[in-house]
Structure 1
Amino acid sequence: MNPSLSTQAPPTLTNALLRSDVLFEKEGLDTLIADMGRAIDLALDGERAVFLTVMNGALIFGGQLALAIRTDLEFDYVHATRYRGATAGKDLHWLREPVVSLEGRTVLLVDDILDEGHTLKAVRDDCLRRGAKRVLVATLCRKLHDRCVEGIQSDFNGVDLPDRYVFGYGMDYYEQGRNLPAIYALKE
């Protein structure tokens, strides 16, 4: 490891905000998430699904989405990551698997972003391996590019994003800024 890199301070959120554009404000996201909740209610048609949140990114979106869904839900979460505080993904690392039985159940898998889809696909496939009869994927946003892994897509999605590094509304910039009430993108 390069010693000069290990003593380097992590980038600051303040500097990132100065080099970013606001893509979506909270008010617009509130409306989209409310609309998603109504669409999910229709898809569930009264069935009590397992609301499975992918931590940490989906915490903010997941809480807001849960309040927008009127159908009764059972809650659990998983923690799987490829980023571990960096801006580029590596191998999938499981920190917590679901505790609730998924056998014969509909799972609403909730995540902040569908970027390339490695994490979401692995979690979705794990739900099916655990016996889920179907897995519906709800994402706050999806990046528009041609690098998405085959076989994963959002059944419900709030907004489409350009292929830039994004943060805020649950998504982080070096583990900072998840609680920003908007979605930002670093300028190219």
Structure 2
Amino acid sequence: MESLGNPRPKLADALANADLLVDRATIDRTIAQMAAPIARDYAGEVPVYLTIMHGALPFAGQLALELGARGLDLEFDYLHATRYRGETTGGELVWKHRPATALYGRRVLLVDDILDEGHTLLAVKQWCLEQGATDVRIAALTTKQHDRCVEGISADYVGMQVPDRYVFGFGMDYHEQGRNLPGIYALKD
């Protein structure tokens, strides 16, 4: 993918200038720990499990398996809403795919890789409530440590906090690359 004739930055260059913040074993333990309170909170129910594409895919898959191991059934669907479209700053929310599952009268668990400022997650949560969801909760693998989060949004289940740096790996991208890295990295300041 090229932008205005400029080649996309190389992932190898980013990795050479990045710190490994969280290794795979720590991510695995964190996701397993997150599953316990979620399974407890939804016991006896089958929530709509909405994966926010593309970033949440690795996290959502692993969390779903941990929830299944604890006896929680899920009704899977996904959505794709973005403000970034390959850029590093957000713009207007663009819906690429809305869930096909009816949300009216249902409890919904939104699953995302990161809660940064929260503009996209807030818009998605509000949309779910407008569709008649009775309860919308958010499971985020990571949250950024800063004070720029929009009012009215927070994650109900948080795996870990990451510094206010450009982070990538395990679902998070570096110019649409590196989502499948098995760790979480941050560019050096």
Superposition TM-score tier, normalisation by shorter sequence: over 0.9
- 3-state SS of paired residue (1:180): coil
The alpha-carbon deviation at position 181 of structure 1 amounts to: 0.1
Residue 33 of structure 1, aligned match among 31, 49, 57: 31
Residue 11 of structure 1, aligned match among 2, 9, 12: 9
- 3-state SS of paired residue (1:131): coil
The alpha-carbon deviation at position 184 of structure 1 amounts to: 0.3
Separation of aligned partners in 2, 1:168 and 1:81: 18
Separation of aligned partners in 2, 1:107 and 1:170: 21
The alpha-carbon deviation at position 103 of structure 1 amounts to: 0.7
- 3-state SS of paired residue (2:7): coil
- 3-state SS of paired residue (1:84): coil
- 3-state SS of paired residue (1:52): strand
Match of 1:84 in 2: 85
Deviations 1:133-157 (Å, cap 9, x if unpaired)? 0011000000011110000000001
- 3-state SS of paired residue (1:116): coil
Separation of aligned partners in 1, 2:88 and 2:10: 13
Match of 1:128 in 2: 129
- 3-state SS of paired residue (1:39): helix
Match of 1:138 in 2: 139
The alpha-carbon deviation at position 100 of structure 1 amounts to: 0.2
Q: Does 1:94 align with 2:78?
A: no
Separation of aligned partners in 1, 2:20 and 2:88: 19
Match of 2:170 in 1: 169
Separation of aligned partners in 1, 2:123 and 2:85: 16
Separation of aligned partners in 1, 2:170 and 2:87: 17
The alpha-carbon deviation at position 98 of structure 1 amounts to: 1.0
Count, aligned residues: 184
Match of 1:72 in 2: 73
The alpha-carbon deviation at position 89 of structure 1 amounts to: 1.3
Separation of aligned partners in 2, 1:87 and 1:17: 17
| Structure 2: gaps spanning 5 or more residues | none
Q: Does 1:63 align with 2:53?
A: no
Separation of aligned partners in 1, 2:124 and 2:178: 24
- 3-state SS of paired residue (1:135): strand
TM-score by length of 1: 0.96
Read off the aligned partner of 1:10 and give its amino acid letter: R
- Give % identity: 57
Deviations 1:84-134 (Å, cap 9, x if unpaired)? 111111111100111101111110100000000001001111000000000
| Structure 1: gaps spanning 5 or more residues | none
Residue 52 of structure 2, aligned match among 54, 79, 86: 54
Read off the aligned partner of 1:121 and give its amino acid letter: L
Separation of aligned partners in 1, 2:109 and 2:83: 21
Match of 2:114 in 1: 113
Separation of aligned partners in 1, 2:57 and 2:4: 30
